Structure formats: structure tokens, C-alpha cells
Chain A
Amino acid sequence: KNQVEQSPQSLIILEGKNCTLQCNYTVSPFSNLRWYKQDTGRGPVSLTIMTFSENTKSNGRYTATLDADTKQSSLHITASQLSDSASYICVVRVYGGSQGNLIFGKGTKLSVKP
């Protein structure tokens, strides 16, 4: 069964600190992996998107890694800001199949405190 699991479920850090969110997936065949940031009550906003051949991709203070062999991804946030407080969702797309075939993780709820 195609699944995406994220950890931790929630995380509280102090402003200015770094943190790393984890994503493990059992999706096959794999097409790409995306990290989204979702503010409460808002639509997900894409942070990074990677195919199996990409190991690292950065977007400002966000750096995502992908290990296609172990089927693991991480999202590292550097020098956190209060505005980073949100849910971070790992989404894996199944290769081929339907265009709607995105497998969503449950997300990690990040709270950045002053």
C-alpha cells in the first residue's frame, strides 16, 4: 500500500533555531516528492519538489534531501522565524497513473516560539 509517514507529528522550537522534519514513504512506482507548507485554513504552498535523481534542493532557508534508496526525505529549516509556524506536508507522486495520484503525509505541525 502506498503510504507517506512523517515525523515528528508536532514540533515546538524557539525562534532562530534549526529543525529537521522527516518523511518516509512506501510509494511505488515513485515519480517525485514534494514538501508543502500549509498555514491553518489555507492551501498548501510548494517549497521544493524532487525526482529520484535529485538528492538535495534548497529554497531559501528550506533545504530538502531525498534518499531514493532508503525512501526517505527530510526538510531542514534554518534560522527559524515565527512565520515558519505551519504544517509541513510531504507528498509523493506515483509515477504514471492518474494526475491526481498524490499520496499525502499527515504533516508535521511546527510551532516557532519567540
Chain B
Amino acid sequence: AAGVIQSPRHLIKEKRETATLKCYPIPRHDTVYWYQQGPGQDPQFLISFYEKMQSDKGSIPDRFSAQQFSDYHSELNMSSLELGDSALYFCASSLMLASYNEQFFGPGTRLTVL
């Protein structure tokens, strides 16, 4: 079965640079979530989109922005990168009306800021 796809899987950037992470949800899923997981930390919710509209906002810094496109894929744009942004970034998708509205996670993008 198709899973959530994230790209790139690994990304290395310098401080103050910009990064764009992409997420392709499971086909027919209408909701996308972004999480940030620092070393040894549990995932922190950043932001979610339902039907291309922002549906919830968590601890996303103002330097970050995200959007969901007409094909339901989502991009997380990160500017003025800081060392503390180094983390594993997960995307998850779900179908709003499915039972439990269960989130399926992608493999993550490991971002390293030097």
C-alpha cells in the first residue's frame, strides 16, 4: 500500500539559509500534518492542513511557513535557519472522515543545520 512520501530524506544547510521540505500524502487523504522531532524528544506538532486550508497551528516558528497544494501535497518552507532547527521533520496524513482519523507518518526528513 502507498505510504506517505517525504523528500528529501536528508538535508544539510548552513545557518541563515532556506530549506523546503516536501510531503506527499497517502492517495485520497485530505489532511496533512507537520511535526518536528529534536534529538531524544517526542514529536512536536507544527501545523496542519485540511483541504488545502490551514486547519491548526502548533509550535511553528514565524520563520517557517507551509501550504497544501491542489494535489494535496504539502511543503514546509524554513527560512533563516538556526542550529536549533536541526531535527527530524515528519509529515503525516489522514482522511478526515475515516474512523479514528488516524494519522499515518512518513519516514521523515533529517535536517542538519551547520
Contacts and interface: CB of A to CB of B under 8 A. Distances in A.
A86 B101 CA distance: 25
For chain B, the bracket of interface size reads 20 to 34
B12 to A, nearest CB: 15
Interface string B46-75: 011010000110100000000000000000
Contacts of B43: 44, 104
A34 B103 CA distance: 10
Given A32-B100, A43-B4, A45-B105, A106 B42 contact: yes
A107 B40 CA distance: 10
A1 to B, nearest CB: 15
B94 interface: yes
Contacts of A43: 4, 6, 90, 92, 105-108
A45 B106 CA distance: 9
B102 interface: yes
A99 B105 contact: no
B48 A100 contact: yes
A41 B111 CA distance: 11
Interface string B73-114: 000000000000000101010101000111111111010000
A2 to B, nearest CB: 12
A77 to B, nearest CB: 20
A41 B108 contact: yes
Interface of B: 4, 6, 31, 33, 42-43, 45, 47-48, 50, 55-56, 58, 88, 90, 92, 94, 96, 100-108, 110
19 contacts: A36-B105, A41-B88, A41-B108, A43-B90, A43-B107, A44-B43, A49-B100, A98-B55, A99-B33, A99-B55, A99-B56, A99-B94, A99-B101, A100-B47, A100-B55, A100-B58, A101-B56, A102-B103, A104-B43
